[in-house]
Chains A and B, each alone.
Chain A
Amino acid sequence: MPERSSTPEASSGQNPILEVKDLTVAYGGVTAVAGVSFQVGPGELVGIIGPNGAGKSSTLLALAGAVRAKATTLTFDGTPLLGRKPEQIARSGFALVPEGHHIFGGLTVRDNLRLGEVARRGKQGLEATREWVLELFPILREFLGRQAGLLSGGQQQQLAIARALLSEPRLLVLDEPSLGLSPTAIDTVFDAITAVQRSGTAVLLVEQRAQQTVAAAARTHVLGEGRITMTLGPADATDAELLAKAYLGS
C-alpha cells in the first residue's frame, strides 16, 4: 500500500491508456515484482523510481511482453497485454526503450531509425515524424550515415529514443535513459522526454534520478522490493528528506 499519495491515481475523466493491477513477475522461485498496480493516462508522464533490484526493469519488460507475468488487469488502450508477443505489443503503439540503449551498433544511424518505423501502422505522416524526431535530436541528422556503434553514450541514448518515437507510439516507456550519461546528455534526454509528453504522447519513465523524475512526472511511484511503497507528486521534488526516505525506506 502506498504510504503517501500527493496526486490522484490517474488523470480524471479519461480512461487510462495503461492499466496495471496486481502485476507479479517471478524468475524461477524469486519474485521480482509482487503485486504492482498503477495507471498512465493519455498524454501523462508517470515516473517510477527505486533502487537497483526493486523490480523496475522487470515491470517494464512484463508490460512489453518480454517476460512472463501475472496480473489481475494489464491493459494497454483497453486491450489485454498478457499472452501477447513483444512484436504485437510494439505494433499496437507501445514503445519501450530498454535500459542500456541497445542500438544496433553495426548498422548506420539511418538504418537504426528505419527499424523504428517497423512498428508503425502505416506510412501516413512518416515524413513529418522523421522531421520532428530529427528536430528533437539534431545531432542525429549530422550522423545519419555513421555507424551507430561509433556514437557517444548520450548520442546512442538519443538514437534509441528517436528510434522508438518513429513508431509513433501512444505510450513511450523509458528504462533509465540517463544511466551512464554526462550531465549535459542527461539534460538533453530529459528535455526531449518533456517535449515528447507535451506533444501528447504518454510517457512512463523509470529512473534512478529521483528529483528530476518527480519534478517532471504527474506522479511518481516508488518501487522497493517489487512493491510500490510510496507515490509522490511534483511538489515533493524539493523535499530531500522524503526523496531519501523513498529510496532508503523508513
Chain B
Amino acid sequence: MNFLQALIDATSAGAVYALAALGIGLVFGVLRLANFAYGEIITASAYTLVIVWPMNPVLAVLGAALVGVAVALAMNYAVFTWLRSQSSATLLIASFGLSILLQRIYEGVFGANVLSASVAGGLSTSIDLGAVRLNLLSVVTIVLAVLLLVGVQLFLTRTSIGLQVQAASADFRIARLLGVRSGLVIAVTFAISGFIAAAVAFVLTVQSGTVGPSFGVQPTLFGLIGAVIGGLRNLRGAVVGGFVVGVALSLLTSWLPPEINPFRTAFVYLLVIAVLVLRPNGLFSAGAGKVRT
C-alpha cells in the first residue's frame, strides 16, 4: 500500500510540474522563448496568497490569479514585445536578466527572509482509506491540474483565438499572413501562462506555507527541464515531460536510501542527459518549428 501512496504523491508532484511545463511551453510555442522568469510570476502569486490569505482566502485566490496574469502581461509588454524579432538566445538571456531583477525587487519589497502563512491549511490533512492515507492536497492538485489541462486543450481546439495560438505556434509568419494578430496571440498566451503560474503557486504555497524571493525558481527549472525532455515544440510532449520529472523526483525522494537522497535531483538531471543524448529534440519532438518574425 506504500506503493499506492507513493504513486499518488508522485502523480501529484508530476501534476505540478506538468502545469509549470504547460505554462512555459505555451509561451515557447508562440515566441520561442524559454522563459526563465516564469518562476517570478509564480513567486508574485505566492506572495499574494501568503499575504492576503489570513485576511480573506477568496480574495487571496482571486488576487493570486489576477497578479499572475498581470505580471505575465507586464513581462510581455515591458520586455518581450521589444525583443520579438530577436533570436531565441537573446530572449533566453533577457528572461534570465528579468528573473534576477524581479528576485531582487521581491527581496527589496518583502525582505530576503521568507514570509509564512497557513494557506488552505485544511488541505494538509489526510484521509484514511483502508491501509492508504490520501493526502487531500495531492488529490486537489491532481484535480486542479486535470481541470487546467482540459481547459487549455478546449481553449486551443474549440475557440477561434485558441486555434490562432496553435497556428502561431506552428508557423508564426504564415499565421500573420492569414490575419492572425501577433500581439493579441502573444498577450493571450502570456495571460494563460500567468494564470497557470498562479495555480502552481497555490499548490506549492499550501505545501510549504512560506514564500521567499526565489520561491518560483525550482518549479520553473523542473518545469523547463520537463518541457525540454518532452519536446518544447510539442505542448503535449512538454506536459508529459513535466509530469515525468515530477513523478521521478517524488519517487526518488520516497525510495532512495537516506544517505544519497539529497542527490535525487542529480538523478533527474542524469535522466535528462540520457533523454537528450538519445532524442535531442525531446521525446515527443514534432520536428523543427518556424520562428516568428
The judgment on whether A and B are partners is yes
Chain A residues with a Cβ under 8 A of chain B: 64, 66, 85-87, 90-91, 96, 98, 102, 104-107, 111, 114-116, 118-119, 163-164, 167
Whether A66 contacts B173 by the Cβ 8 Å rule is yes
Q: Which residues of A contact B167 (CB under 8 A)?
A: 104, 107, 115
Chain A residues whose CB sits within 8 angstroms of the CB of B171 once the complex forms: 102, 104
Contact with A along B158-183 (1 / 0, CB 8 A): 00100110110011011111111110
Give 8 A-B pairs besides A107-B170, A111-B163 with Cβ atoms closer than 8 angstroms: A66-B176, A87-B178, A90-B179, A111-B166, A115-B175, A118-B164, A164-B178, A167-B178
Known: A114-B160, A118-B164. A90 touches B170 (CB 8 A): no
How far is it, in angstroms, between the C-alpha of A9 and the C-alpha of B279 when the chains are bound?
57
Q: Name 20 interchain pairs, CB-CB below 8 A, sorted by A.
A: A85-B182, A86-B177, A87-B180, A87-B181, A90-B176, A96-B177, A98-B174, A98-B177, A104-B166, A104-B170, A104-B171, A105-B170, A106-B170, A107-B170, A111-B166, A114-B163, A115-B180, A116-B178, A119-B178, A167-B179
Please give, as numbers and ranges, the residues of chain A lying within 8 Å of B286 by CB-CB distance: 106
Q: Is the CB of A91 within 8 A of B179?
A: yes
Which chain B positions have C-beta within 8 A of A102? 171, 174
Q: Which of B157, B160, B170, B182 contacts A118 (CB 8 A)?
A: B160
B293 interfacial contact with A, CB 8 Å: yes
Looking at chain B's contact residues, is the secondary structure mostly helix, strand, loop, or mixed?
helix
Question: Which size bracket describes the interface of B in this complex?
Answer: 20 to 34
Instruction: List chain B positions with a Cβ less than 8 A from chain A.
Output: 157, 160, 163-164, 166-167, 170-171, 173-182, 286, 293
> Complex Cα distance A74/B146, Å?
51
- B166 near A66 with CB under 8 A, answer no
CA distance A210 to B32 in the complex (A): 40
Kindly report which residue of chain A lies nearest to residue B293, judged by CB atoms: A66
Chain B residues within an 8 Å CB radius of A115: 163-164, 167, 175, 178, 180
- The chain A residue with its CB closest to the CB of B171 is A102
CB <8 Å contact, B179 and A66: no
Across-interface contacts of A111 in B (CB, < 8 A): 157, 163, 166
Indicate if the CB atoms of A90 and B160 lie closer than 8 Å: no
Most A CB contacts (10 A, CB to CB) among B174, B178, B180 go to B178
- State in angstroms the CA–CA spacing of A115 and B159 once bound together: 11
Q: How far is the CA of A164 from the CA of B174 in the complex (A)?
A: 11
Residues of B within 8 A of A96 (CB): 177
Cβ of B182: which chain A residues have Cβ within 8 Å of it? 85, 87
Whole-angstrom distance between the alpha carbons of A10 and B221 in the complex? 61
* In the complex, chain A residues whose CB is within 8 Å of the CB of B180: 87, 115, 118
